[in-house]
Amino acid sequence: MDDTMRRNDRRLSAQLTNEILEKGTVCQLALAAQGEPYLVTMNYGYRESTLYFHCAAAGKKLEIIEQNNRVCFTVVEHGAVLPAEKPCDFTMKYRSVVGFGTARVIDGYREKCEALGIIMAQYAPGETFQFPEGTLAATTVFAVDISSMAAKSNL
């Protein structure tokens, strides 16, 4: 996918792009199947150009990924709305990442535990967790291997 940005003056470095993904808490994941878009808000974990997610063992996301594993995602750090005299001059302070990648389901007890550990580290850094086998059996874990991404800022 072309990562051309209209406002190239707002483009962030790869280091700052990774920082946004490492510190973020919410990811919007966009999927498409049979010409229909589907957008879902999810918790995630990020490590080494890969996003990790968990969900129920069945559902629309997994059905779509099975048909078309190409995805788009965004993570946004919201700042403040900056009002202006004219309505169309309002703006917002933010940093955001938009990226593209390929989703894949993670199988295997060890691999699922590792991926869930990455997700948990996003929200509770430095903690370690044990994942009961029953919970793992009822949980699907999937990864998005990022093929391209770009970040911008209006701070």
Q: Where are the domains of the chain?
A: 9-154
pLDDT of residue 3: 60
What pTM does this model have?
A: 0.89
Q: What is the mean pLDDT of residues 22-48?
A: 96
Which of 6-10, 76-80, 113-117, 144-148 shows the lowest per-residue confidence on average (mean pLDDT)? Answer: 6-10
pLDDT band for 101, please (50, 70, 90 cuts). very high
Q: Are strands 36-42 and 27-33 parallel, antiparallel or unpaired?
A: antiparallel
> Regarding the domain delimited by 9-154, which CATH topology (the fold level of the hierarchy) does it fall under?
Pnp Oxidase; Chain A (2.30.110)
What is the maximum alpha-carbon separation in the chain? Answer: 58
Burial 105-132 (b: 16+ CB within 10 A, else e): ebeeeeebbebbbbbbbbeeeeeeeebe
pLDDT exceeds 70 at position 8:
no
| Torsions phi, psi for 6 (to 5 deg) | -60, -45
